[in-house]
């Protein structure tokens, strides 16, 4: 039996509602200027809708969304983002984690958890992080690296308490025959100190003690696959471009990942395929299936 997991990220849901002057009396003013000068020509709702429709046509068993649903975390952005996510799939079929744009400023940082509670509710009924959601033999673990930061910064971190809970959770899964997928917004390794996961070294060390089988992330808006060395074997860490981007001169256009996960006599097998936009407004296979 094969379980198909789809992964998209960073929809940066357009259009951006018009902010009030008071809304811009903080870091948001920089994000708003960036949106009006750059991002609004790159992030397109028609591209996002076409990508989601193509993804749904693949009939995945589950969909992972790794953050940045909104742009500058205006109050008015969250209800449309919830309607969009409901259109992607039900909370039973979709798991989500927040990105730095979902926690852009302190005032609205709690809104993500309030708005998307059904999509971050673990099997134990709680809505905190990390959460654990079992779907067949797949254990989906969501963590939050989203925290408000200073202007010009897009860093994230889990913190000691969340990492401790994650370690306990992974320890409890160690004896189970499940395929463990970790969802996080920030990549585990970054070249930019302004966008990095600040406690990545601690998280990597944790995963080397208590491995997962796959890590999915967004944030950088690029295709990315690295591997983290662990005693049980390399852990694939896979990123994806923004789900709404088209003709960004610096990064790839919108795409999503598809993972076909199956179990054989010699353990788990995970095949990775990428679909998305290339030079035209047509969605194609950007890479044939490969075993991770």
Q: Is the pTM of this model over 0.85?
A: yes
- Sequence-distant (≥ 6) Cβ neighbours of residue 252 within 8 angstroms: 221, 222, 223, 241, 245, 276
CATH number at residue 150: 3.60.21.10
**Residue 103 DSSP label:** G
| Domain residue limits at 114 | 2-291
Tens of pLDDT, residues 53-91: 999 999 999 999 999 999 999 999 999 999 999 999 999
CA distance to 103, 112, 174, 198, per residue, from 212 (Å): 26, 26, 9, 20
**Residue 124 DSSP label:** T
Question: What is the pLDDT, as a whole number, of residue 265?
Answer: 82
Domain count, the chain: 1
In this prediction, residue 142 has a pLDDT band, given cuts at 50, 70 and 90, of: very high
What mean pLDDT is predicted for residues 8-33? 95
Give the residue from 230, 212, 154 showing the smallest Cα distance to 185: 154
Q: At 161, which helix (H) or strand (E)?
A: helix 160-173
Tens of pLDDT, residues 21-37: 999 989 999 999 999 99
């Amino acid at each position: 039996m094969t379980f198909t997991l789809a992964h998209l990220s960073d929809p940066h849901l357009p259009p951006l509602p018009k902010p009030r002057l008071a809304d811009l009396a903080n870091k948001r003013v920089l994000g708003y200027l960036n949106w009006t000068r750059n991002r609004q020509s790159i992030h397109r709702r028609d591209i996002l809708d076409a990508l989601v429709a193509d993804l749904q046509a693949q009939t995945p068993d589950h969909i992972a969304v790794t953050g940045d649903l909104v742009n500058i975390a205006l109050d008015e952005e969250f209800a449309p983002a919830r309607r969009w996510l409901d259109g992607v799939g039900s909370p039973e079929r979709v798991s989500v984690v927040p990105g730095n744009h979902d926690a852009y400023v302190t005032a609205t940082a709690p809104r993500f958890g309030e708005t998307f509670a059904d999509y971050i509710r673990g099997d134990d009924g709680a809505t905190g992080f990390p959460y654990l959601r079992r779907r067949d033999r797949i254990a989906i673990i969501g963590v939050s690296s989203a925290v408000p930061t200073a202007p010009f910064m897009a860093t994230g971190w889990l913190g000691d308490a969340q990492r401790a809970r994650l370690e306990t959770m992974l320890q409890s899964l160690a004896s189970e025959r499940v395929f463990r997928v970790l969802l996080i917004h920030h990549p585990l390794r970054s070249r930019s100190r302004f966008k990095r996961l600040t406690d990545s070294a601690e998280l990597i060390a944790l995963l080397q003690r208590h491995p997962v089988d796959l890590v999915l992330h967004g944030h950088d808006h690029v295709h990315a696959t690295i591997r983290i060395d662990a005693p049980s074997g390399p852990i694939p860490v896979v990123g994806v471009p923004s789900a709404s981007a088209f003709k960004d001169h610096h990064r790839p256009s919108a795409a999503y990942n598809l993972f076909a996960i199956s179990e054989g006599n010699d353990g788990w097998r995970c095949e990775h395929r990428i679909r998305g936009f290339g030079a035209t407004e047509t969605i194609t296979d950007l890479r044939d299936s490969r075993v991770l």
